[in-house]
Amino acid sequence: MKYIEFGQDQDQVSQVVLGTMNIAQYDTEGATAFLKTALEQEINFWDTADCYAAGGSEEVLGKVFAANPGMREKVFLQSKCGIRVEDGMKYFDFSAEHILEAVDASLTRLQTDHLDCLLLHRPDALMEPDEIADAFRILHKTGKVRNFGVSNMNPPMIRRLQKATKYKLETNQVQMSCAFTPMFDAGFHVNMESDPAIMRDGGVLDYCSENDMVLQAWSPLRYGYFEGIFLGDPKYAALNKVLERIACEQGVTPTAVALAWILRYPARMQVIVGTTKAERLVGSAQATSVELTRKQWYEIYQEAGNDLP
């Protein structure tokens, strides 16, 4: 496993992140066995959110921490808040009141006294940066949150928020895979009259690199917006062929190669793996051992159905 420095204390955290959105399907015993596999693979960064399984994912993690003294201290724990569902309707809420209440609720479910990082989950068009900054100040002063970041935000949004708070926004969690590449497409097709030339993200990759923000890639094995997994999908036969070839050459899984494609981008990168299968997690952890050449990176990009001008 390879590590990067993260946050104000420069914690050493794994580039492969365990995503726990679906962990609520386990009971405490099953979750414990799975989470121990993550630690055995030296994956020490775990990501969750208050909305995952309506809080159920955090509850399962909390029960595991309670049943396994010392495990919490081995983990860099990140959660997210801001997505609310009431009366069957979803909306976003970055009010100070909600952020403070959400963190307290997460800490209770997780059975811990602090989060190592808190992300604002999806942009709230009604956000007031000064109000968010006040919430951050309270959370940091009381020791409830050590670091802060955002999820799915573009550069103008991040700049507005960063201007208001003294705490560095450490990370931006965005959707990225070799079959979901709009952030790369726009860069390749600058000033061209084609759909790939449309910049839909405001230059997130360059902004995060310039401002030393960690880029966390979610849904690293999906195409479209939760449309499906490209591994083994006949629609992506050419992509799977090249992933399998490189995997065979390097003695790893095709999953590891697909994740390594993301980590190959020259920035502070992490990739979030959402599997709940121990064997797939082991295969995913191989990603940081994969060395992709520039030619292989571009081959994967093009075999996923993308073109270069």
Burial 93-114 (b: 16+ CB within 10 A, else e): bbbbebbbebbeebbebbbbeb
| Residue 26 falls in the annotated catalytic set | no
How far apart are alpha carbons 164 and 33 in whole angstroms? 42
Out of 52, 207, 223, 236, pick the active-site residue.
52
CB atoms within 10 A of CB 184: 16
149, 126 contact by CB (below 8 A): no
| Amino acid sitting at position 64 | V
Neighbouring C-beta atoms of residue 87, cutoff 10 Å = 4
How far apart, in whole angstroms, are the C-alpha atoms of residue 199 and residue 104?
A: 38
Q: Which helix (H) or strand (E) holds 299?
A: helix 294-303
Q: Put residue 228 in one of left, alpha, beta given phi > 0 → left and psi -120 to 50 → alpha.
A: left
> Which tokens is 188 given?
């390749």
Q: What distance in Å separates the CA atoms of residue 151 and residue 114, rounded to the nearest whole number? A: 20
> How far from 279 is each of 16, 64, 85, 99, 192, CA to CA, in Å?
15, 20, 34, 36, 44
Distance CA 78, CA 59 (A): 14
The values of phi and psi at residue 71, to 5°, are -65, -45
* Beta partners for residue 216, in sequence order: 173, 270
Active site residues: 52
